[in-house]
Structure 1
Amino acid sequence: MRPDHPAVAGPERGRRVILSSTTRRRAVLRPNRRVTSRKRGGGNRQLLEVKARSRTVTRQRTLAAIWISVRLAAVFLVGGGLWVGGKKAVDALFLENPDYVIRRIDVATDGTLTPEQVVAAAGIEEGAGIFEVSLTAVRSRLEELPQIRSAEVERALPDRVTIRVAERHPVAWLVPPTEGDPYRAPGALLVDADGVLIRPLQVAPSHLHLPVITGVQTDRLRAGEPVLERDVRAALELLRVTESRLLQARWEIRSIDLSKGYCMEVTDSRKGRITFPTADVERQVGRLEALLGWCEGNGRELLTANLVPVRNVPVTFVPTPEEEAAAALPAAPAAEVPVKRATPVRPATPVKKPRTRANG
């Protein structure tokens, strides 16, 4: 409160004044409102003072708003001028500078794609400004190809762009049930170890020796997408496990038939046929290893085996030379057994006993 307030003026000025709770609450809620007294004509003087001060505050606020607007306008003008001037300078020094033009595109790949195919997929040409090429966009376009796993694009000033491509390496062919030759079948697809499908742009020599997975409906499959069929996943797992256990030197897979749906009929390079269940593939490969170990220890070659049964596995072996020679010999004619005629047997005539009279 002001010192000249009637509540503290007069003979009791300087003494501590205790305000009521109502007065304190009003002062907190309305701190800027002046408490006026209408005693002795003081109310008109205080109202005039409030009006004069409000005009001063309004004028000061208006001047401050104008000053802020002028400063903001100056900042925008200076910033716009700097941006326009900087853009023109960048265009003159870099974008339109004939020294920063692409004159060489280096391509490094680890697969069957040619440099021309990679450059065409990247969408860049020699003669374009090197700073006009978006490296992120070029990498995205390259990685959209199903054949490419990842790509790196670098800009080397003043005139060179380097592209490094890591391709997907297929591990098998997927062939529809009605097609037998994967190299001529229009619906044949390649698949890598992750199950991603690849439509080959050209058949490379390395594709000729890949195993063939048959019995798969490929019309619903799309290149660049992972295959989700359980049987195909089991076949890929079989290829992965045999490669990790180095079984290919002893047993090389040539084809996997999935047409039955509940098992995989595998044909090896020696025309042997092994039937696998589609579940617990790694354990089934361990059982096959045991069979191959027994065959090597006993000098036999596995011809067929059915690993679907848990016990009493049906197994056949390639005939040995002795067995083939014995099978080639003509069979000895069977000895004729003499046939005797049946002798008719007549029943014997019963002998009648003579009757005797009893004595007496």
Structure 2
Amino acid sequence: MSRKRTSKVRKQASGPRTVNLRASSGRVMWCRTKAGTWRAAKWLVFLAVLGVGVVIGKSTLQKVFLDSEEFALKRVELWQWEGEEMPRLVDHARLAEVTGLDPRASIFAFQLGEVENQLAALPEVKRVRATRRLPDVLRIRVEEREPVAWVESPRQRIIGRNYDHGMLVDADGYCFQPSRAMMEVVNDLPVITTGDRGKDDFVSGQKVKGREFLRALELVKLSKRYLAEAGWSLPAIGLRNDFSLMAKTHTGTVVTFGLYEHERQLEDLLLILDHARKTSRGVERVNLIPERNIPVVFAHAGGNLEAPGSPLESSLEAILTRS
């Protein structure tokens, strides 16, 4: 007869058995604290030595590079982006004004990238590259925007050929304000006036968007190519209406251009002016928009193409007489 079980047997859960070997006696805890304190002390000593080394190294660099007369900045070279010519718009005075470079400082006392960014922020500058020439030369190459005309906008109180209230425009239509450093370069550039039309907002560092103004700018560039060799120029050009421009030659001839076909119109103007010169006559006004039978009024010959004394014509005359 089988015996009846009177006790329960617990089965252990399957899996690896773990034994806690982490002792927690007083002596063991003291040893651990001592070891941790020693490691901390070693790190503190290392950091202290490192700090002293940094201070000594900084002081040494200060004496070797920043305070040494050998590396004192003795010459700042300003060059155009390509070639060995001076920039036309940025001179040493403008450089010092914009960057605040100390001419008595060490060549290592400034960051090249900061100098480049300060100059590149000028609207008249496209890009800049600054390099050190040890031991004492800073070389800066500048690519500038080439101004081709003054802007005049009565609505914005922008005055052509005025360094305090003027605005210049380059061949791509970007505007920037003049400085005294530019005087010899830009003083005799032609002036484009908006007259009483005033549709454009001229902002330094931004490109003009107005169609009529950009067509006048194109006329300025073409007139230099076509007229300069013959001794003629268009120092003043104005926006007449939606389809035409008005200009005055340096001799005072009033010329009406269309917005397009400027090459053909300039060639016609050369023929007319050459004919007038050969016949010892002056041209008072001419309308170049027609391709044939071009209306021309010779001086003292009577007749009118447009009532003299119009506001735009008066503005162009004022530009011619402006110093």
Q: TM range, normalised to the smaller chain? A: 0.5 to 0.7
Corresponding position: 1:143 with 2:120: yes
| 2:219 match: secondary structure | helix
The runs of 5 or more residues in structure 1 that have no matched partner are: 1-42, 57-69, 325-360
1:213 counterpart = 2:198: no
Q: Partner of 1:249: helix, strand, or coil?
A: helix
Corresponding pairs, count: 263
Structure 1 residues 77 and 111, CA gap change in structure 2 (3 angstroms) = farther
SS at match of 2:222: helix
**Distance (whole Å) between structure 2 residues aligned to residue 183 and residue 287 of structure 1:** 27
Give the one of 241, 247, 264 matched to 2:227.
247
Give matches, 1:126-165, under 5 Å.
126-165=103-142
- C-alpha separation in 2, matches of 1:51 and 1:139: 68
Counterpart in 1 of 2:58? 91
Shift of 1:136: 0.7
1:10-51 superposed Cα distances (whole Å, 9 cap, x missing partner) = xxxxxxxxxxxxxxxxxxxxxxxxxxxxxxxxx96993xx32
CA distance in 2, matches of 1:184, 1:268: 20
- Partner letter of residue 315 of structure 1? P
Query: Within 2, Cα distance between the matches of 1:160 and 1:168?
Result: 26
Shift of 1:138: 0.8
Rg larger for: 1
Question: 3-state DSSP class of the match of 1:152?
Answer: strand
CA–CA distance in structure 1, aligned partners of residues 111 and 95 of structure 2: 16
1:216-268 Cα offsets, whole Å, 9 max, x none, are 5499433232222222211111122233x443223411100115354210111
State how 1:341-356 maps to structure 2 within 5 Å.
Answer: none
Which segment drifts farther, 167-176 or 123-132? 123-132
Q: Which residue of 1 aligns with 2:310?
A: none
Asked if structure 1 preserves the Cα contact closer than 8 Å seen for 2:159 and 2:167, the reply is no
Letter in 1 for 2:61: F
Please tell me whether residue 204 in structure 1 is matched to residue 174 in structure 2.
no
* 2:103 aligned with 1:103: no
Asked whether the equivalents of residues 96 and 129 of structure 1 are also in contact (C-alpha less than 8 Å), the reply is no
Contact 1:94 1:131 in 2 (8 A): no
Q: Does 1:191 align with 2:156?
A: no
TM-score by length of 2: 0.63
C-alpha deviation, 1:90, in angstroms: 4.6
Distance 1:180 1:157, change over 3 A: closer
Unpaired runs of at least 5, structure 2 = 1-9, 21-35, 79-85, 302-323
- State the percentage of identical aligned residues: 24
Q: Deviations over 1:107-162 (max 9, x none)?
A: 32322443122123122213444334111111111122233333222123333322
Distance 1:308 1:191 in 2: 26
Q: Tell me the amino acid that sits aligned with residue 254 of structure 2.
A: R
Matched, 1:292 2:270: yes
Which residue pairs with 1:271 in the alignment?
Answer: 252
Contact between 2:163 and 2:178, CA under 8 Å: does it hold in 1? no
Query: Is the 1:265–1:274 contact (alpha carbons within 8 Å) kept by the matching residues of 2?
Result: yes
Q: Greater relative contact order (Cα 8 A, min sep 6): structure 1 or 2?
A: 2
Q: Aligned pair in 2 of structure 1 residues 132, 184: CA closer, same or farther (>3 Å)?
A: closer
Change (3 A) 1:78 1:254: farther
Output the CA distance in 2 between the equivalents of 1:201 and 1:112.
8
Match of 1:116 in 2: 93
- RMSD (CA atoms): 4.4
